[in-house]
Amino acid sequence: GKLENGCVVFVPGWLVGRRKKNFMVLGKKRSGASGSSGVEDGFEGVKVEVLLGCNGGIWIQRALTALENLGTETPNPEVVQSIRNDHARTGMLLVERRVVSRVRNAVEALKLVRCRITPENIEGVVKASAVTIGVEVKDMLKPDVVVRITQCTRTNNHR
């Protein structure tokens, strides 16, 4: 298939651990979180899909929210293809582009400090960069900033 509305990042394969599921959605509101608006987690209310390839290829895109709205029953393949086509034709909003870029830079920062690429580590670096430290996306890969935003991976033993 054709990859659209996202970006690909390549990291050494040994940084991506084996997981039961390699496809995940980041930035979703946690059930039971009191008053969670999505802003305090660094995702600004935007859901991002991440596909972690065991070979080190990582695909990041905005989430296909229309598929979530179909319910629990298995949708018709034609409907799914139509939703994917609509998703590909629809341009990304500025906030979506900023969040996808922040997630991409979080993966790059983890790669630079040779830390495991896990959903928990990605979310921790995104939160550290957006909320705790409050750094702009364009500044996330500066050497001094990389050390600060990845500090959470060393203190929480997420390695």
pLDDT in tens, 86-119: 888 888 899 999 999 999 999 999 999 999 999 9
Q: What are the start-end ranges of the E strands in 5-120? A: 6-10, 23-26, 48-52, 57-62
What gap in Å lies between CA 90 and CA 93, rounded to an integer? Answer: 9
Count the alpha carbons within 13 Å of 36 in the hemisphere toward its beta carbon: 14
Q: What is the pTM of this model?
A: 0.84
Q: 107 by DSSP, 3-state: which?
A: helix
Q: Does the structure show a pLDDT above 50 at 55?
A: yes
CB 123 within 8 A of CB 113: no
